[in-house]
């Protein structure tokens, strides 16, 4: 039996730019994790369309929330980091 998550995770790591799907900053290999856009605990799947690369710290902040459910503080944090990429790519 093929593990769909492992196959899709490896494909995502090979084909996607290593840019965090939450904060927009470049991800170093040691900080790279795969996030389920819709968490498995919320009915998400391991399909590649539900996966994105993120920093491990950003993934911890997101937890099992949907993007639109994150607190205003987390959203402000990610917006600030995306803004900083203008000056520090």
Q: Which two tokens stand for residue 63?
A: 């937890």
Better pLDDT: 2 or 16: 16
Q: What is the C-alpha to C-alpha distance for residues 85 and 88, in angstroms, rounded to an integer?
A: 5
* Res. 1: pLDDT tops 60: no
Q: Which two tokens stand for residue 74?
A: 């987390």
Q: Measure Cα distances from 44 to 14, 22, 50, 72, 76 in Å.
A: 22, 18, 7, 23, 25
For residue 51, give the H/E element and its range: strand 51-55
CA–CA–CA angle 41, 18, 76 (5° rounding): 65
- Segment 32-85, tens digit of pLDDT: 999 999 999 999 999 999 999 999 999 999 999 998 898 888 888 888 888 887
Going by C-alpha positions, the residue among 18, 17, 40 that lies closest to residue 27 is 18
């Amino acid at each position: 039996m093929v593990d769909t998550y492992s196959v899709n995770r490896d494909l995502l790591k090979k084909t996607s730019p290593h840019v965090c799907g939450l904060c927009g900053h470049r991800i170093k290999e040691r900080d790279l994790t795969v996030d389920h856009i819709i968490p498995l605990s919320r009915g998400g799947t391991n399909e590649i369309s539900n996966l994105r690369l993120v920093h491990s710290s950003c993934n911890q902040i997101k937890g099992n929330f949907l993007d639109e459910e994150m607190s205003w503080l987390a959203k402000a944090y990610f917006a600030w980091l995306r803004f900083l990429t203008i000056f520090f790519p």
